[in-house]
Amino acid sequence: MKQAFHTITVPTRGAGLYECTDAVAAFVREARIADGLLTCFVRHTSASLVIQENADPDVQRDLQDFFAHLATSGPRFRHTAEGPDDMPSHIRAALTQTSIGIPLHKGRLALGTWQGIYVFEHRAAPHRREVALHIIGE
């Protein structure tokens, strides 16, 4: 059995989806583990992970608009000290995913044809988001 660890940093410029499929695939190639499980884990509570369509960029824009609308459609927030976009960011993160596991078979991730891995930035200001990557297999 082998394991590989890596952390990628994804710079963001406001709320929206930032694809990191290529950086993840590069880590998988360099790890030289043909069969196993890849785990992606975002180390933040106001950014998250989603696997989404990477063909039409309008899908990512519509996702951003939907979540922006949804997360501000509820009751008033108590937690406002870190800015008006902070609590909606935690909500958007809770509604999406913190970790994603993807099987790796014969050197290929099980991703479907149109699936891309995205960091979903929920805050308005630019950030540097860390995604911890791990493979276990052989």
* Site residues for a copy of itself per CB under 8 A: 1, 3, 5, 35-37, 39, 41, 43-46, 50-53, 56, 58-59, 61-63, 65-67, 69-71, 73-75, 77-79, 81, 87, 90-91, 93-103, 105, 110-112, 114-115, 130, 132-134, 136-138
Burial class (CB in 10 A: 0-12, 13-18, 19+), 132: middle
As measured in angstroms, the least distance from the Cβ of 84 to a copy of itself is 12
As measured in angstroms, the least distance from the Cβ of 2 to a copy of itself is 10
As measured in angstroms, the least distance from the Cβ of 17 to a copy of itself is 9
CA angle, 38 as apex, 35 and 43 as ends, to 5°? Answer: 165
Closest CA to 83 of 131, 125, 36: 125
As measured in angstroms, the least distance from the Cβ of 81 to a copy of itself is 7
Nearer to a copy of itself, 30 or 56 (CB): 56
Nearer to a copy of itself, 124 or 136 (CB): 136
Nearer to a copy of itself, 25 or 97 (CB): 97
As measured in angstroms, the least distance from the Cβ of 58 to a copy of itself is 4
Question: Which H or E element spans position 93?
Answer: helix 86-95
Query: How would you classify residue 51: left for phi > 0, otherwise alpha for psi between -120 and 50, otherwise beta?
Result: beta
Query: How would you classify residue 42: left for phi > 0, otherwise alpha for psi between -120 and 50, otherwise beta?
Result: beta
